[in-house]
Amino acid sequence: MNAPAGLMDLTSVLVLAGLGAFHGLNPAMGWLFAVALGLQERSRAAVLRALPPIVLGHAGSVLVTLALVSLARLAVPPKAVSYGVAAVVCGFGIWRIVRRRHPRWVGMRVTRWQLAGWSFLMATAHGAGLMVLPITLRGGHGAAVLASQSLLATAVHTVAMLSTVTAIALLVYEKLGVAVLRKAWFNLDLAWAVALVGAGAFAALT
Amino acid sequence: MALIQPDPTFYPSARDAMRAPKEELAYVALLDAEGQGRPDGLATIDLSNGSIVSVADMPNAGDELHHFGWNVCSAALCPYAPHPHVERRYLVLPGLRSSRIYVFDVKDDPRRPRLVKTIEPETVFEKTGYSRPHTVHCGTDAIYVSALGNVDGDAPGGVFTLDHDTFEPKGRWEADRGPQELHYDFWWHLGNDTMITSEWGTPNQIEAGPSLDLLVGRQYGHRLHVWDLTKRRHLQEIDLGDQHQMALELRPAHDPSKTHGFVNTVISVEDLSANIFTWYQENGVWKAKKIITIPAEPADADLLPEPLKQFGAVPPLVTDISLTLDDRILLVSCWGTGELKAYDVSEPFSPRETGSVRVGGIVGRAAHPAHPERALNGGPQMVEASRDGRRVYFSNSLYRSWDDVFYPDGVSSWIAKVDIGDDGSLTLDEDFFVDFASDGRRAHQIRLQGGDSSSDSYCFPS
């Protein structure tokens, strides 16, 4: 299938934004960290200050993944890339089902750079970029187009994630309180793994 | 098996945890003091009537069970390393003498815990270089265990970690231990990424019993150590004064936005008093201030055990303290004088005594209302408060070789309970008395089902 005249069709934009919201929803991806830092300082400004580094770290992880695959697409036939991506993404999804991890790097006192680094690691360990990857494999030729496409996909994903984490962080900080976690923190690991396997299958079929 | 929602016993803040349902069961470490090959046990107590529901015997003898803890707790909700869907279902029980570690599963039948894993001493020695494991705390990224000494029973003691999932020892925790040598308890201020550790003595100094020479020579521990919890580095030591021998239990404020806590010293070589210090941070420097002195009580030498006769007084011997989850009431066990005291420590430098009860004691031998005719020995020792801060349970044995010096007639073990009033007053529950006389073993640490005031730590302020 060939890409439409633009860099990305509406479906792709919606899927990328949806995945951004899905990632933003996950407490492990950062909004909870921002709320905790705000509570520690008893300051809403501290919540908001923590969000940009968290979102940028996440965006960095997604962009690195997309850029690496774009490089591969310049050198390898499209079908090979599709199957390669499918195998990696599916495999990662299955590995996420089997293996539970406790990343450890920072504590509660973090600089902005550490927060961005933490978010980059959490996004990478959860395969955030891999989940986004298959939707970007459609169409596009040449370095310039692929680079623009990677940047645009990351931007759409990031805007959706930023909106979601900001809304949830403020809602929990201002209204609900963290006690809501006791009921509302659903185990997204399985949903996350299923989404990865689905994304991998999608890559194989396109 | 991972849960769909967080384990219901996890609470983001200590304040939230105070709304937890009332505890129904307690787990208690039982120590065999006879040394005739009988193993230690893990007793389960029905708290509605104080009955002993079951006792699981260890598969080996001579472990000397002491303190123990849960595999995970509310620290699993910490935002930087979240794993909220792991279950609180395993009790990790170190053998203080044997260096063996047992893991019991309490999920399938909470009234009959089941042994699911044993870590042999050789594995602990090989992986960590430490021996005599003691305190267990569930951390944000691993299970943390303190150890009193190295494999030879000398200094340094320290901290090692166990894998959350497999319980295998992962190795020494410290990246840089600075001047720290002696070790006993540890806990942390999660909001400040700081660990605090305390000092008792090396295994070789304590296992044969208390030594008057070491005491008079001020050789037991008297310092606190402050560590960077994420970098695992020693930052600073706080010397409480070498007259204050044996700095034991650490009770940091449960609210992670506070950076103060309380520690007890067992005995002063100057006047036999016991003391409580508040540690705190001021302009980036950690300090400690003495806030409570509990004096020795004059006594007839005929009623005193050998090492105390020359002094004509009973030292209070404060051996354990417990802080309610609202950081308000500090419970203080005076194991020598047989008294449990309560202080309001809302103002951490201006404590106010709010309650006291007497049971047992070296001289007092105070009876319990459930058995008014029976003189009791041992005294309030391991003390644990319920999550809502309303009920306190305490047992009466300290440590085998030390029990035998201060209570040479042999500690007959029991657990009692007090209720805390709104004003911090203490009232003995006349109907609650768990008697271990017929079992013959000695009760030590008490863990309450679902968590208690020394089992969990929190990343979200109250």
Q: Measure CB to CB from residue A186 to each of B4, B79, B256 and give the nearest one.
A: B4
Stated pTM of the model: 0.94
pLDDT value at residue A6: 62
Answer yes or no: is A127 within a domain.
yes
Which pLDDT band, with edges at 50, 70 and 90, does A102 fall under?
low
Number of Cβ within a 10 Å radius of residue A206: 15
pLDDT per residue as tens digits for the range B243-253: 999 999 999 99
B200-235 pLDDT per residue, tens: 999 999 999 999 999 999 999 999 999 999 999 999
In degrees and rounded to multiples of 5, residue B428 shows phi and psi of -65, 135
Locate tokens 């009791």: which residue?
B376
pLDDT (mean) for B66-92: 95
Asked whether residue A197 is domain-assigned, the answer is no
CA distance B256 to chain A (A): 8
Yes or no: say if B329 and B323 are a contact pair by the CB < 8 Å rule: yes
State the average pLDDT over residues B409-438.
Answer: 97
Contact A185 B6 (CB under 8 A): yes
Residue B369: name the closest of B306, B434, B433, B441 by CA: B433
Q: Which domain holds residue A109?
A: 10-76+102-185
Contact B81 A185 (CB under 8 A): no
State the pLDDT at residue A96: 76
Indicate the CATH number for domain B14-448.
Answer: 2.130.10.10
Instruction: Report the range of poorest mean pLDDT among A126-140, B201-215, B266-280, B386-400.
Output: A126-140
Q: Most A CBs within 10 Å: which of B1, B16, B72, B80, as the mutation test of the A interface? A: B80
Q: With pLDDT > 70 as the criterion, what percentage of chain B qualifies?
A: 100
| Residue A3 pLDDT | 42
- Number of structural domains in chain A: 1
In a domain, A158, yes or no: yes
Structural domain includes residue A83 = no
A21–chain B nearest CA distance, Å = 19
Q: What's the pLDDT at A148?
A: 87
Is residue A53 within 8 Å of residue A116, measured between CB atoms?
yes
Cβ–Cβ contact B424 with A under 8 A: no
Retrieve residue B216's tokens: 């008079």
Structure confidence at residue A163 (pLDDT): 97
* CB contacts, 8 Å: B170 with chain A: none
- Compute the mean pLDDT over every residue in chain A, rounded to the nearest whole number: 87
Looking at the domain assignment, is residue A86 inside a domain?
no
pLDDT for A5: 43
Residue A92 binned pLDDT confidence (cut-offs 50, 70, 90): confident
Give the integer Cα–Cα distance in Å for B154 and B146: 14
Structure tokens at B267: 């005995």
Beta bridge partners of B353: B343
Whether the CB of B192 is below 8 Å from some CB of chain A: the reply is yes
Residue with tokens 């200050």: A49
**pLDDT tier for residue B115 given thresholds of 50, 70 and 90:** very high
Please tell me the distance in Å from B45's CA to the nearest CA on chain A: 28
Task: Give A1's pLDDT tier (boundaries 50, 70, 90).
Answer: very low
Mean pLDDT rounded to a whole number for chain B: 96
- Banded pLDDT at A4 (limits 50, 70, 90): very low
Residue A141 pLDDT greater than 80, yes or no = no
Radius of gyration of chain A measured on its C-alpha atoms = 17
The CA-based diameter of chain A, rounded to the nearest angstrom, is 54
Tell me whether B260 touches chain A (CB under 8 Å): no
Mean pLDDT of A43-71: 94
Cβ distance of A107 and B230 shorter than 8 Å: yes
pLDDT digits (tens, 9 = 90+) for B55-70: 999 999 999 999 999 9
Contact (CB<8Å) B13/A33? no
Q: A86 falls in which pLDDT band (50, 70, 90)? A: confident
Predicted confidence (pLDDT) at residue B361 exceeds the cutoff of 50: yes
The CA distance from B249 to B224, in Å, is 11
A147: pLDDT confidence band, cut at 50, 70 and 90?
confident
At A103 the pLDDT is: 60
Q: Does B8 touch chain A (CB under 8 A)?
A: yes
**B163 → chain A, closest CA residue:** A102
User: Higher confidence at residue A95 or residue A108?
Assistant: A108
Q: Is residue A2 part of a domain?
A: no
Is B307 an 8 Å CB contact of chain A? Answer: no
- A27 and B79 within 8 Å at the Cβ level: the answer is yes
Tokens for A136?
A: 């970007």
Structure tokens at B362: 């070296």
How confident is the model over B171-184, as a mean pLDDT? 97
Q: Which two tokens stand for residue B163?
A: 């894998």
β-pairing, B158-162 with B143-150?
antiparallel
The reply to whether residue B257 touches residue A42, judged by beta carbons under 8 angstroms, is yes
Residue of A nearest to B74 (CA): A182
Contact B124, B131 (CB under 8 A): yes
Judge whether A109 lies within some domain: yes
Tokens representing B99 are 């260096």
Q: Which of A35, A39, A187 faces B85 most closely, judged by CB atoms?
A: A187
**What is the full DSSP assignment across A109-172?**
S--HHHHHHHHHHHHHHTTHHHHHGGGG-SS--SHHHHHHHHHHHHHHHHHHHHHHHHHHHHHI
Check whether A197 has a pLDDT greater than 90. no
What is the reported pLDDT for A75? 83
B77 in reach of chain A (CB within 8 A): yes
Poorest-pLDDT segment among A69-78, A146-155, B22-31 = A69-78
Is residue A25 less than 8 Å (CB to CB) from chain B? Answer: no
Domain assignment present for A53: yes
Widest pairwise Cα distance in chain B: 63
Structural tokens at position B349? 């430098």
Q: In 3D, which of B455, B450, B415 has the Cα closest to residue B106?
A: B450
Is the CB of B460 less than 8 angstroms away from the CB of A36?
yes
Q: Average pLDDT for residues A125-148, to the nearest whole number?
A: 83
Can you tell me the mean pLDDT for A176-195?
87
Q: Is B451 left (phi over 0), alpha (psi -120 to 50) or beta?
A: left
